[in-house]
Chain A
């Protein structure tokens, strides 16, 4: 779980409406579903991360975990079914239909809504990707149920309700959200927020093939083409093992060079906190935090980043967090493992040299500057 539960801090702000009860028609909604995101034949890794999380929730509730696969008949769809079982699903719901080849909002919304209305899950999780967010918003509105976006923590309450925690107020605080009077309880979770579960070679279990049809003529939107980003160098920040990032403490856009140089020296990737993107110092796809990328590297070096909640929730999964900041009271020192009180701009080049010194005997490291 990405979020630590804070027993110490009392609830400081609640909303009325806590008396909401679950209407009779929703009481037989059971089981946890994970939507398996399949685009261009590939299962997005976030689906596996969600299966791991869904497994934990299902076990707490004593219910089953199901993977939901919507796609065209063929190899990639059956592969996704097998993967759902390998990552912990007890059963799979499958809709096979040629017009589900490329993601489009209309048929996917219709098919997923139909599955939910037919088989009635109590929890439905989707990845907070462009696809997952597009689909989740439409499905939740169609079903008139609650949807909590970009959760950083999921839990089951004593009464069996889903407690979905996410940052709020622009990422300065966390809040826990419930869906009290409708089902399913829906949530999206960003890639890398949840740990990748262990894959096992479980045999394929029960597959429920759901008969659903739609005609191409009913669908307004047509896919004309797909322009791949290819192996663009910024594609893998979320999955990098070493990440160096800069924040407002760097003072000026040109000082980001110290960040990128250190990253390149030690073979890592680089990013920044949200304010730098808002200032236009780095493109959005380099942003690390709640609204940017969530990272889980082995080593994360935060330079001149104060550590607002919005940033914290995007990096807490890192094995080791090193913070460099001039302000000894910066919140980043509350969740970093190792800290240095120093000016990042002057310290980063020195740090790069130190890495090269330390690793020189056995390596090919060269200082980048």
Chain B
């Protein structure tokens, strides 16, 4: 069994700061992490390997420094890491990203064995689009199983897979077939602690590095800015409301009085609410 897990190196979101004057992102010194959603995918891949054997290739597209994220994935127990890095990929939107990744996965298939499952996280914390997984599935013509909360069973003989997929107001139980692409829902597992052996192996491992040509991409116009149908025209900070919040004065007042004043202010703003709360409050 061969499993490919797509991961992304992202800035640690809690640490992102916006420059107060220029409104640009201050990237300097912001630590990077593996996109937290991808760790659910990686752990699920490791669990599948625990039960069915085989090997796991982690793949990322990004700048050379994304190698760190791959090495981290190796410490959790992945067998092999591939870094897709090329200046031609700069400015890729989700369509161009899914193109490059799908080409790389095809190349991984040729080099290391056709994948039975491709995993991705539900979405990334920096882009938050949830579009790259479905894009890869479509381009590789894989069955697409998104928002999977649980894999119930995999039968390698019949190539059948059963999963629980999160949907609005409930969970669908689906039967499908390998090969497929699965995007894992958050909270479905917790990433394991890697073993010492894995840590040592990760430090020594050679990361496979491919540029566009090495990944088998012939048509470079499908990559990066040129291959992206969407264009970001402007980035801006939201303007403050013309009137800032009306502050309830707290100086020289007890919390009791401040709270009374706040409640009065709430019902002055929303008179109808007073009656509604009276009838719906807890009993």
Contact = CB atoms under 8 A, between A and B. Distances in A.
Contacts of A222: 174-176
B197 interface: no
A4 B239 contact: yes
B282 A365 contact: yes
A338 interface: yes
B232 A149 contact: no
B18 A172 contact: yes
A116 to B, nearest CB: 14
Contacts of B231: 15, 17-18, 20, 177-180
A134 B33 CA distance: 26
A64 interface: no
A267 to B, nearest CB: 4
A321 B22 CA distance: 28
A161 B130 CA distance: 24
Contacts of B89: none
Interface string B257-283: 011101111110110111111111111
A278 B36 contact: yes
A239 interface: no
Mostly, the B contact residues are: mixed
B237 interface: yes
Interface size class of B (residues with CB under 8 A): 35 or more
A174 B238 contact: yes
B200 interface: no
Interface residues of A, number: 120
Contacts of A298: 270, 272-273, 276
A350 B237 contact: no
Nearest to B276: A241
Contacts of B164: 227
Nearest to B259: A354
Nearest to B275: A362
B25 A131 contact: no
A353 B229 contact: no
B162 interface: yes
A118 to B, nearest CB: 20
A7 B171 CA distance: 44
